[in-house]
Every structure is written in structure tokens, then in C-alpha cells.
Amino acid sequence: MTDDRSSSAREWSIVAATFAALVLIAAVWLAIDRTPPEWDHANHLERVVRCAEDLARRDWRTLMERSSFYPPVVPCAAAVVYRLAPSDAAAAQTIILAFLGVGMAAVYALGRRLAGGTEGVVAAVVFGCAPFVVFSALRFQLDLPLAAMVALALVVSLRTEGFIRLGWSLLVGVVFGLGMLTKPSFAAYVLPPVLVAAASSSGRRIRAVNAALALLVGMVISLPWYGPRLFGLVPQVASRSFRQAAESGHPDPLTATALLYYPTWLAPQFGVPAVALLLVGLGVAILRREGVALTAFLVPFVLFGLLQNKNLRYTLPLLPIAAVMAGMGFAVLRGRVRLLGTVVLVLACALQVSATALAVPHGLTLPGLGVPLVLESPPRTGDWRHREILTLISRDSGGAPATVSVVPNDNFFSVSNFRYYGVRDGLPLRFSRAWDTEPIGIEYMILKTGDVGPAWTAERPRRIAERLRTDPSLARVFPVLGEFPLPDGSTASVRARRLTEPVPVASKTFARELEAAIRRELADVTTDVEGLEIGLVYDETVLRGRVGRVEIRAASARVGELRRRDAPLLRVQDVRIAFDDVLVNPFSVHTAGRLAPLDARHATLGRVTIQEADLQAFLREQKGFKTASVSLEPGAIGFTVKQPGPDVAARVRLLPAGDRPFTLVAERVTVGGISVPSLLVDWVVRTWDPSPRLASRLPMPVTLGRVDIASGAIRVSDRP
């Protein structure tokens, strides 16, 4: 017993020493590095700051509603540390390194149980020194915490002895709940091996009871977050896995390139010696019939290999069980070969950590595979000038709220970076991506020469840069406020909206030009228009592009995106819409006869009538409503949505709202013909409620008049 304790203490000390060395290296790296957080990294750090604010206000509802896809455990754990520490970045990395420690400890415990103490130490060291683990430990992402939770779940699951032991079964439920609140994909890594473990034990009745209790505990912990997203999460996962992957240029999932992606990159991700031991360990696991270990590695590896969206982050949670099987492979070594293997692993650990965190040695590749030995990520000290740019905008705006369009999508210079820094520094700035047709609602633009982001997003920033170069009217109302050299050799520029110069024409003449430009612009979104009238309220400031009110009336029209081929059109009648405090580019109107709207304080849809048949025809052409049927009832709209699984039906009323054009109130909601309790109605309806997304995309507040729904038509009127 004493020898066992001494051996265990020695093994734990080796794991702890390795972890301490990794923490020290990460701390030095973080102290030197000045690289801005990239895309998702910046988004997660923004959530840390937001969660800290929610915790300070004890605003639990907002905290739980922050993200539609990413659960709150990791960012809010960092937020707790952030409230105690002065730096959000330091707090975030503290949490990441803590999860690294949990992961290494869990891998050791798992390896010790399946292979032995020495093999557990090998597994923990192999995992901690894996190149992609080191790479991930330097970034605030959710995948390393997810890997730690997967390893912990496997350890605790084996402790249940196939769900025979009640206490450990309840603990499994706790770990499962927290794992699901780490990232939704947790279940894909854990469920297959847990089912194998449960099926391999005797005592079917007690096993079923304990497994059900574990499931209940996990649901109690995770359901408050997942419940409201129950129907929307699956479409999001499917979209990210395939549609968005195709848009990003990923190859079709069943092509050789796609199928070989993870096998090809396993060595840079896990380490060459570790892969060799893993292959041996797989053979050992097969011979020993280690169903849990084999299932935990092979099933998710195949599953994620079949998805179109490929990223090494998605297979990072497989490295704990891969490290355990590498430990099994190490157990095969004997005598001098075992000693030599130990030396190789120690040297490989040092080499992989140094090459990843310091790029020493630099530029090594794997022969025959055409991939690097590791993903190098040395600390960088270049200044990307975010703070200076935001200071310039804040000074120019006088500290007033303003909307900033960040045109490039470079990983170090994107809307994600700037939005995070703005939230962290408490600036009253709203950030948006590159604008589309016209910079409506945009007061400042941030641009960049050179690399402007991935190929699938670069077209719009380049088009905007070309537009500013070739359109003197646009460049005139958005002059350059400042320029900044960037570390990649490019130049950033800030442009500010300025409407100070008048056009050289009488105000009445310009008003006629503006009305004609509006009529031409309406031709892009309306057809078969009858009784069109345009009214303008203006004074002499109209020559600087300022219009008090623009009111558009029509007896009937068909509206839609006519520039888009086969765009669905909606017939509307008795239309009146008004825009208050409108800004237009006066030079575009006067010199080119083209309407270039820049802003409006408010828009009001005062009147419109939509017949039921016209609404049904329009919705049938909408992608999201092809399986939906709509009927108008007194005071409400009846919806039935057919989908894989149970169909959803509801009666929906449209009510006024302060922060959006309208809000939906659902009644008589059924799923698969079963009535949904009123407390759970929001879980079902929020998936199809377009009003929050509509409000977030509108460049100005929009108000509807009174909405009356009757059999046959929807009428919006200005009656009280």
C-alpha cells in the first residue's frame, strides 16, 4: 500500500511539473505577445466582458440569453476571475490554463485506470505537449476546456462501473450538464463510449435507473440554457457543418481531400511520436477489447471526418483518449526500448512546445505529407493600432454614440477585434461589418489596404475600396480622418461622414432632383406601381443632404428585391411609409441623379394592406417557409411548419414593441399535435420569430402603425 501511494505521488508530481512548465511558458508568451484576438477568440473575450457586466448587475436573464450557440460556462468562469483581476485577457487565459490542468489530470487518471500508472503519466505528458494543445492554450477558445470536460466525463463514467454505483452515476450527470454548458458538441464525444460502458455491465435494472438519474441531473443543469434554443440549435449545427462550410470553400465531405484532412493533420496536431504510439495503442486496445477507449476515439473521429466543415479545433477533444491509447502503446515497450522511448518522448515534448510557442526550430515540415511539423505561433509584438483608431473616432465624435463600419475581415483587423475592444473599454460605439449597397447609418469607416480577409469575404471590402476610389461623391462625404501603418505592411484608414458643403443649386431645384432620384431607386424594389406620390419636407439644409421628412404613398405595388433573379414579390395596397430626419449624399443626387441614402432617424410604416392570398403566395417562395402554411384569423395569424420530426403549429398575434417594429405573441402552440405548456411556448416560437433579427439588421428604428388581422387581409393603419 505504501509503495502504491509513493508511486502514485511520484506520478502525480511528474504530471504537475509538466503542467507547471507549460503554464510558465504560456505566461511568458502572453506577457510578450501583442497580437489582437482573432475572430471567434475576440467574440469569446467580448462575452467575458459582457458576462462580467451581467454578473455585476445580477442580470441572470441577459446572461443566459447572450448567445444563441455558445453556452456560458467558460466565458462566465473567466468573467468571475476578471472581476477579481484587472485584465480580461489574463483572466481568460487563467481559465484556459486551469482547464489544461484539469485535462492533464483527467488523462492521467484515465490512463492509470486503463493501462497503468506509468502509462497514465505518459498519456498526460503526451496530451499536454501535443502541438495543438499548446497552440490552443495560448488562445481563449472553448475547445481546450471541452477536451478537459470530455476527459473528465470519461474518467467519471468508468467509475460508475457501468452505472452500477449510484454516487458516481449522479456525478456523471453533473459533469455531463457542465460539459454540455461548455460546448454543444460535448455529447458527440461522450455519448458513444458511455453507452458502450453501460451496455457492457450486468444488473440491467439498477443500471437503467442510475443512468436515468444521471440523465435527469444533466438535464436539470443544462436545460435552462438549451431549452429556449431547443428547436433552433439543430438547424444551426447543420448550417455550420455543411452550408457555411461550402460558402467558406471547404471541399465536399466525401472527396479524398476532405476524408484525408484529419488523418493528414493528425501528426502536426498530436505530435509524430504520439501518433506512432497511438497506432500501436489502437492495436493493443483491439486485442484487449477496450470498447470504451476505441469507441471514444473512432466514432467521433469518423463523425467529424464526414462533416464538410473541417477544423483541427473540432478534433482537439479526441486528443485525451488518443493520449491514453498512446500510453497503451508505450506499455508494449520493454527494457532499453522503453528507456529510449522515454527519452524520445521527453525530447519530443520539449521540441513541440518550443516549435509551437517560440517557432524554435522554425519551418520544419513532415516529408510526404506536405504539412508543417507543428502550427507555429511565436509571440508577436507588432501594434495593430486598434487603440489609436478608437481614440481618434471617440475624439472626433465627442464621446457621443456612433456607428462604425469595419470594412476588412482580416483575422487581426476585423469587426470582431474592434467590437471586443470597444466593449472592453466601455466606448459608446456600435460596430458593423462592411456595408452593402450604400453606407446607410454609417458614421465612420475603418478600411485597410493589402490583405482584407479570407477569399470568401474579401469581395465586399475590395468593392468598397474601389467604390471610394472611383466615386468622388462618396469619397467627398466620407473624407479620410487618419491613416495608420500596420505590421503586415498595409495601411489602415479612418473615414468620417461629413455633410458640410452645399451643392451649387437652388433648394427647390435640388428637391425636384431628389424626388426624381427616389422614383428611380424605387424601381429596383417595386413594380406594377399605381398611384405613386412622394412628398418632401425640407429647408435650405437640403442642399447639404438633410431632409426633414420623406413620405411615400402608393395605391398598390409589388415589392421585392428586383435586382435578384427570381426574387419573390409581395403585392401590397394602400401604402404609406415615412422617413424622418433623412440624410442623403447631395453630390450623388445632383451630379449623377442617383439616390445615395446615408441615414434616417426613424421610419414609420403608417399604412399598408396585404391580402391573404398574396401573403401565402409570397411565403411559398421564401426559403424558410417552403414547408409552412399560413392562414389569417380574426386578430391572429395561424402558422403550421412541417419539418423533420414533429410539426409545429401556432396562432400568432403581432403587437407593438419599443425595440423592434413588432413582437410576436404565440398562442395554442402544438408540437406533433401535443399542446405546449404556456411556460415553454417561448422555447418553440423564438426559433421562427424574425423580429429580433429584423431589428438587428435595420439601420434605423422602424415603427408600425396599428396592426389589424382579419380573415382575408392584414391591415396596418394610423388609427389609434
pLDDT in tens, 255-279: 988 899 999 999 999 999 999 999 9
Number of structural domains found in the chain: 3
Report yes or no on 506 lying in a domain: no
Q: What is the dihedral sign for C-alpha 458, 462, 465, 471? A: negative
Report yes or no on 512 lying in a domain: no
Report yes or no on 245 lying in a domain: no
Report yes or no on 423 lying in a domain: yes
Report yes or no on 10 lying in a domain: no
Whole-number mean pLDDT of the chain? 90
> For residue 669, is pLDDT > 90?
no
E strands, 172-288, where? none
pLDDT band at 1, cuts 50/70/90? very low
Q: Helix, strand, or coil here: 348?
A: helix
**Same domain (yes/no): 337, 393:** no
**Same domain (yes/no): 178, 321:** yes
Buried b (16+ CB within 10 A) or exposed e, 181-197: bbbbbbbbbbebbbebb
User: pLDDT at position 50, please?
Assistant: 93
CA atoms of 405 and 392, how far apart (whole Å): 15
pLDDT in tens, 29-80: 999 999 999 998 999 999 999 999 999 999 888 888 888 788 999 999 999 9
Boundary residue ending a domain (496, 514, 531): 496
372: nearest Cα among 137, 139, 135:
135
**Same domain (yes/no): 93, 178:** yes
Report yes or no on 44 lying in a domain: yes
Boundary residue ending a domain (452, 467, 496): 496
CA atoms of 259 and 264, how far apart (whole Å): 9
**Same domain (yes/no): 332, 458:** no
**Same domain (yes/no): 290, 318:** yes
Report yes or no on 169 lying in a domain: yes
Q: Which residues contact 661 (CB under 8 A, 6 or more apart)?
A: 605, 691, 694, 695, 698, 702, 703, 704
pLDDT band at 687, cuts 50/70/90? low
> For residue 666, is pLDDT > 90?
no
The model carries a pTM of 0.88
**Same domain (yes/no): 161, 258:** yes
**Same domain (yes/no): 329, 411:** no
**Same domain (yes/no): 168, 217:** yes
**Same domain (yes/no): 43, 156:** yes
Boundary residue ending a domain (496, 516, 535): 496
User: pLDDT at position 688, please?
Assistant: 66
184: nearest Cα among 137, 158, 222:
222
Report yes or no on 419 lying in a domain: yes
**Same domain (yes/no): 366, 390:** no
**Same domain (yes/no): 361, 419:** no
Which residues form the domain of 583? Answer: 560-717
**Same domain (yes/no): 360, 398:** no
Buried b (16+ CB within 10 A) or exposed e, 530-556: eebeeebebeeebbbbbbeebbbbbee
